[in-house]
Amino acid sequence: MKNLRALVVDDEPDIRELLSLTLLRMGIDCDPAKDVATAKNFLTRETYNICLTDMRLPDGNGLDIVELIQRDYPKLPVAVITAHGNMDIAIEAMKAGAFDFINKPVDLNALRQLVMSAASSSQIADEDQTIDIVGNSPTVARLNEAIKKLARSQAPVYISGESGSGKELVARSIHKLGPRVQGPFVPVNCGAIPSELVESEFFGYKKGAFTGANRDSEGLFQAANGGTLFLDEVADLPLSMQVKMLRAIQEKAIRPVGSQHENAIDVRILCATHKNLQALVDRGEFRQDLFYRLNVIQLDVPPLRDRADDIAQLTQHILQNLDQSLGSGNTEITKAAIEKLEHYTFPGNVRELENILERALTLCENQTIDAGDLQLSEAKSHANIPAAPTGSHFKRALSYASIDDYLAEIEKEILQDALENDRWNKTNAAKTLGITFRSFRYRLSKLGLADEDSD
């Protein structure tokens, strides 16, 4: 922790002194500022590795500093200090770009952990930020930029996307590029844990807590301590567990089953699901407060059909991995096979592409995959139709059985986007689209969406 410098912003002299002394004992030089104006002056004259700021200041608030740093010093991690239990302000700050938060009264051990993570984040070199998402399309470029930005934060990220689109790979990339890279990455499928075991799996248990508990056992939170806990299919968490999960995330502490004491945890939470969490919240099937806590930042992973330009490169990458794992020679794939893949809709996304290629590899002759080896459904693949010369809509239409099917899919996407934009309120969504409520309901019913929303 040598040659590091921190900016501490707080209007209370005792707090400034406590924070400064703690950091100095860690070998970090400090500049104390009592208000926003003083902090701005320091920022113009010094280079910092971390900024700690209170939310309530005489001439503004911590959000002013967070927004200033995000705009003018985007590589400087800033953490906010909030009154205990005031999660709304902490979440607002992280949405604005804050690295993390800490509650008052300040726990010095938690402060040291936060500062070490932030200092590591500020020293991550851009040239080391290689991402495992394969593809050169504009869609993937935007996704990669978002991953790089989110890696520098400790804010919870809700990763949404269809099954097989690569949500776990995105989560691993966020972990890999962040300051927790030396810590564990612990993925867990929330839907795969029996409801009666979910609490002990996440929080651990003490010897004798229940029949069969013959020894102490640490849970998933402890296993991920110092790293990242990835909650895959978080929508499948039982409601009874959701309130306990919320408390663990907010308090940064867990209580093992059968224990009278809490254990502090230092874990970043990433979560994902292929379901519409907001719709589940509206139907009372997922806690709104937990959704609000997990959905500090949302990152959408595009389906493979929306990045068709990446299919050729992705195919070569998958085949290289298959050749390596199977110990086979260099597998070739014909131009006709690539074209057929590029005109396929991939309802199973990247995972389906992997399965298709693995199957084709066992069927092909002379280590060369041809179009016929792919065994794709003709209803969703039109390899014999030449690539569209212009227009993304024309290209996508070729992958459908008929133009009517394609137009219905577009209409469905528009209706779903309108519902999500208006928080699944049908009346408002109809107004947004400029159609009557009756017409809107008819279209929902026609496309099979009538049961997917609520007023």
104 and 232 in a single domain? The answer is no
140 and 238 in a single domain? The answer is yes
295 and 313 in a single domain? The answer is no
User: Rounded to two decimals, what is the model's pTM?
Assistant: 0.73
Domain assignment present for 31: yes
Domain end marker among 268, 300, 332: 300
Domain assignment present for 39: yes
165 and 58 in a single domain? The answer is no
Domain end marker among 89, 122, 155: 122
pLDDT of residue 122: 64
Domain total for the chain? 4
Query: Residue 326: which CATH number?
Result: 1.10.8.60
Closest CA to 184 of 235, 226, 149, 148: 226
The token pair that represents 379 in the structure block = 């209803």
Query: Residue 137: which CATH number?
Result: 3.40.50.300
Are 393 and 404 a contacting pair, CB within 8 Å? no
Domain assignment present for 200: yes
Are 325 and 184 a contacting pair, CB within 8 Å? no
12 and 100 in a single domain? The answer is yes
Domain assignment present for 141: yes
Compute the residue count for the chain: 455
Domain assignment present for 359: yes
The one-digit pLDDT tens for each residue of the chain (455 residues) are: 567 899 999 999 999 999 999 999 999 999 999 999 999 999 999 999 999 999 889 998 889 999 999 999 988 999 999 875 677 888 888 888 898 888 888 888 888 888 888 877 666 644 456 677 899 899 999 999 999 889 888 889 999 999 899 999 999 999 999 888 889 999 999 989 998 899 999 999 998 888 888 888 999 999 999 999 999 999 999 999 999 999 999 888 999 999 989 988 989 999 999 888 989 999 999 999 999 999 999 999 999 999 999 999 999 999 999 988 877 778 999 999 999 999 999 989 999 999 999 999 888 888 899 999 998 865 454 433 344 344 556 556 655 555 666 777 788 888 888 887 777 888 888 888 877 777 777 778 777 776 544 44
Domain assignment present for 453: no
295 and 308 in a single domain? The answer is no
32 and 145 in a single domain? The answer is no
263 and 138 in a single domain? The answer is yes
101 and 227 in a single domain? The answer is no
199 and 274 in a single domain? The answer is yes
Domain assignment present for 396: no
Domain assignment present for 127: no
282 and 418 in a single domain? The answer is no
Domain end marker among 300, 324, 358: 300
Query: Residue 47: which CATH number?
Result: 3.40.50.2300
State which residues form the domain around 63: 4-122
148 and 280 in a single domain? The answer is yes
